[in-house]
Amino acid sequence: MNVPTPTLPGPVGALPARPPRRWQVPLMLAGMALLALASFVEVGVEWRRLFTHDAAQRMGRFLGEMVDPAREPAFLARLGVAALQTLAMSAVGTLLAAVAGLLLALPASRVPGQPASRWRQPTRWLLNVLRSVPELVWAALLLISAGLGPLAGTLALALHTTGVLGRLFADAIENAPDGPAFALRATGLPRAQTFLYATLPQALPQLLSYTLYRWENNIRAAAVLGVVGGGGLGQMLSFHMGLFHMRETGSILLATIALVALVDLLSNVARRILNP
């Protein structure tokens, strides 16, 4: 490499010591390359079929019909109702999750300087399980007991998000500055009041911004939950797409994108107000 040597103070021409070679890096890269290769073999994408005239034509027709979205008033009214339902699903799901997450975060967090409660690890396992099952799978499971409709979707969002928020909340509570809580504990206040008047106010801005961030995520998730029967825009989408109503599909996709953008905007504004 002929990178120009910077003129350093010290002995002329003394290059800085070569960084140590790490054998892990080539090994890691080789492993990744192997994994990628094996993956392509396993998946077996038929590239030739993808770039045929036929596929291009189908894709073209698909996109062409979507360019002219459906605008009939009756359809737009239904679309509006579905969009509101999706919005409500995301909001209710996130709120329920914020409350449940906070309740679970209490046993899952430890007071600095004190031994962890024996509920900490089991609660964290529960949160992990809630978190690692995606919303869509929760929705599919809940369809059995809640039936088709937005209730299953909302509860699914709430369950998954509880796992995510509970974990984040627990960490935020553990990392909150301990001074005020220590002062209140020293006056002999019970733990609930110490939490409500010292720890919670300290951690609240962070908890709120996590909740808003999850809301942005959940509006995306709520928009697709309907595909398995969870109500809202997704249900309309899978219905019309299943019947190859491409103009309606185009409108629904545009509405989804607009709704996601709207929630992103609202959440950004709220965050700016909360954390000036």
Partner 1 sequence: MLRPDTASATMGAAATAPDALAVDRYRDPAWRGRVFWMLAGVALLAPALVAVEFKVWLLFAPENLKVTLRFLADSLPPAVAGDFLAMVLRETWRTVAIATAAMVLALLLAVPLTLLSCAALSVSSLSGRMHPLAWAMRQAVRALLVVLRSVPELVWALVFVRVVGLGPAAGVLAIALTYAGMLGKVYGEILESGELHPARTLLRNGSGRLQAFVYALLPGNARELTSYSVYRWECAVRSSAVLGFVGAGGLGQQLDASMKMFNGGEVATILVAFVLLVALADAVSAQLRRMLG
User: Could you tell me the smallest distance in angstroms from the CB atom of residue 144 to partner 1?
Assistant: 5
- d(CA 262, CA 219) in angstroms, rounded, equals 10
> What's the min distance (Å) between Cβ of 168 and partner 1?
15
Here the tokens at position 43 are 């998946």
d(CA 162, CA 105): 10
Of 82 and 105, which has the nearer Cβ to partner 1? Answer: 82
* Residue placing its CB nearer to partner 1 in the complex, 12 or 45: 45
What is d(CA 195, CA 201) in angstroms, rounded to the nearest whole number? 9
Whose tokens are 């039936």? That residue is 147
Q: Position of tokens 């979205």?
A: 69
Q: Which two tokens stand for residue 191?
A: 């733990």
In which residue are the tokens 């006056």 written?
Answer: 187
- CB of 88: closest distance to partner 1 in angstroms? 4
Q: Which is nearer to partner 1, 132 or 175 (CB)?
A: 132
Identity of the residue, 76 or 88, whose beta carbon is nearer to partner 1 in the bound complex: 88
CB of 23 to partner 1, least distance (A): 11
Closest CA to 258 of 109, 79, 97, 116: 79
